[in-house]
């Protein structure tokens, strides 16, 4: 009798299926000028300073990178008003999510997530043999009261994606304060703020205050979104030093490559690029929401760089037809919403083309 090779818990993991690269779509379909509005990337790309920094360091990649991300941590500490001991840098915030699960989650312990939300939390929980406790959103927003009620003596982690991916909704400061006050000791709350820089709502909680207060929280942010460095994979976590020290124990020694560190460091020196990116996003948001209203398509008001829109049609069919016309979006069926698409806010030209293609496809349905 053959012996099973795999850990049993990994069989419950649904592998992440990334979208095809634009070049592969163009080759397969025999088309050109494809635009990708599916992965919430910055349509302006990275800061020119980041590009130059990568060029400047290209001839040094024969040596290992700084395993402690010393210069990047120091720049982030000044940027955020924390100390370097409050920081851990990862190969994207995805890696930091996985490191958190590895550091804190014992087999059989529970972690609470919303539905729908970012799938990486469930992956990290299950790979450690943990149990994912799913709490439905309320009006497509995290139901913090219900999440607090779901805490048991087996709960170790709570994940709050704010703004939430895929809905773009946020939870406010008062409800977040009340939520944290109700969480018992020994439970760590992870605030995933990948889209932090896009938020304009004044009620958005400034979660670094919780770190300064010594609470059991971890705040995640990334250079993949507004900074335009998704291809380099660099994100970070902020928490009190005791938590950071524990997470660091499970970190690979050279997890963030030299190019990523250099580009991220340079990006922090070009906040004008962030301002331009935010302004472009706000203009695109205004245009798209007006167009959705014109088309009679319900959508969720967003605080991120994407919009969750109900198309009143089979999202897979609409996706396929739009794809053949050179526009890639994200389907809602993967989030349990078969009549929804999520579209990244692009440049003015990309947004206009998206609306033209969407309107044409929906007219055929």
4 in any annotated domain: no
What domain range includes position 288?
A: 10-39+272-364
Q: How much is the mean pLDDT over the chain?
A: 96
Which residue blocks in the chain are alpha helix, DSSP H? 22-29, 48-57, 70-80, 92-104, 120-127, 144-149, 173-182, 208-212, 241-248, 258-267, 271-295, 315-324, 348-364
Residues 262 and 281 in one domain: no
Q: pTM score, two decimals? A: 0.95
| Among 221, 238, 269, residue at a domain's last position | 269
Helix (H) or strand (E) holding 2: none
Residues 77 and 175 in one domain: yes
Residues 23 and 119 in one domain: no
CATH of the domain at 59: 3.40.640.10
Give the C-alpha separation, 26 to 41, whole Å. Answer: 19
293 in any annotated domain: yes
Give pLDDT tens digits for 253-266: 999 999 999 999 99
Local structure of residue 138 (DSSP, 8 states)? B
Number of structural domains found in the chain: 2
Q: Is the pLDDT of residue 319 over 60?
A: yes
Q: Is the pLDDT of residue 47 over 60?
A: yes
pLDDT at 1: 47
3 in any annotated domain: no
pLDDT at 2: 64
State phi, psi for 102 to the nearest 5 degrees: -65, -35
| Among 269, 293, 310, residue at a domain's last position | 269
CATH of the domain at 290: 3.90.1150.10
187 in any annotated domain: yes
307 in any annotated domain: yes
Percentage of the chain beyond pLDDT 90 is: 91
Residue of higher predicted confidence among 22 and 36: 36
Q: What is the mean pLDDT of residues 193-219?
A: 98
> What SS3 class is residue 342?
strand
| Among 269, 288, 307, residue at a domain's last position | 269
352 in any annotated domain: yes
Residues 15 and 97 in one domain: no
Give pLDDT tens digits for 52-90: 999 999 999 999 999 999 999 999 999 999 999 999 999
Give pLDDT tens digits for 35-44: 999 999 999 9
Residues 201 and 284 in one domain: no
Percentage of the chain beyond pLDDT 70 is: 99
Position 237 confidence tier, pLDDT thresholds 50, 70, 90: very high
171 in any annotated domain: yes
């Amino acid at each position: 009798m053959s012996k099973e090779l795999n850990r049993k818990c990994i069989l419950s993991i649904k592998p992440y299926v990334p979208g095809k690269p634009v070049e592969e779509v163009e080759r397969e379909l025999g088309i050109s000028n494809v635009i990708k509005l599916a992965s919430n990337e910055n349509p302006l790309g990275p800061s020119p300073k980041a590009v130059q920094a990568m060029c400047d360091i290209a001839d040094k990649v024969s040596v290992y990178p700084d395993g402690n991300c010393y210069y990047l941590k120091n720049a982030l500490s000044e940027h955020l008003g924390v100390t370097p001991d409050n920081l851990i840098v990862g190969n994207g915030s995805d890696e930091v999510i996985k490191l958190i699960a590895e550091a804190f989650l014992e087999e059989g312990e529970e972690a609470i997530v919303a539905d729908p939300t970012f799938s990486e939390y469930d992956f990290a929980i299950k790979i450690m043999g943990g149990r994912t406790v799913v709490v439905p959103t309320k009006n497509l927003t995290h139901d913090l009261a219900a999440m607090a009620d779901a805490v048991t003596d087996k709960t170790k982690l709570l994940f709050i994606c704010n703004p939430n991916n895929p809905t773009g909704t946020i939870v406010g400061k008062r409800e977040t304060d009340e939520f944290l006050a109700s969480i018992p000791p020994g439970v760590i709350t992870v605030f995933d703020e990948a889209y932090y820089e896009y938020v304009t709502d004044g009620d958005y909680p400034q979660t670094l205050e919780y770190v300064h207060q010594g609470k059991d929280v971890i705040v995640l942010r990334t250079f993949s979104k507004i900074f335009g460095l998704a291809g380099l994979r660099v994100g970070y976590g902020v928490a009190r030093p005791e938590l950071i020290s524990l997470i660091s124990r499970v970190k690979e020694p050279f997890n963030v490559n030299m190019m990523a560190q250099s580009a991220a460091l340079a990006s922090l020196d070009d906040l004008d690029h962030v301002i331009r990116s935010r302004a472009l996003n706000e203009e695109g948001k205004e245009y798209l929401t007006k167009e959705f209203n014109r088309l009679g398509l319900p959508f969720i008001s967003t605080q991120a760089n994407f919009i969750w829109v109900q198309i009143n049609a089979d999202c897979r069919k609409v996706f396929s037809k739009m794809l053949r016309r050179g526009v890639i979006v994200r389907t809602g069926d993967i989030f349990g919403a078969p009549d929804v698409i999520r579209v990244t806010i692009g440049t003015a030209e990309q947004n206009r083309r998206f609306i033209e293609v969407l309107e044409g496809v929906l007219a055929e349905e």
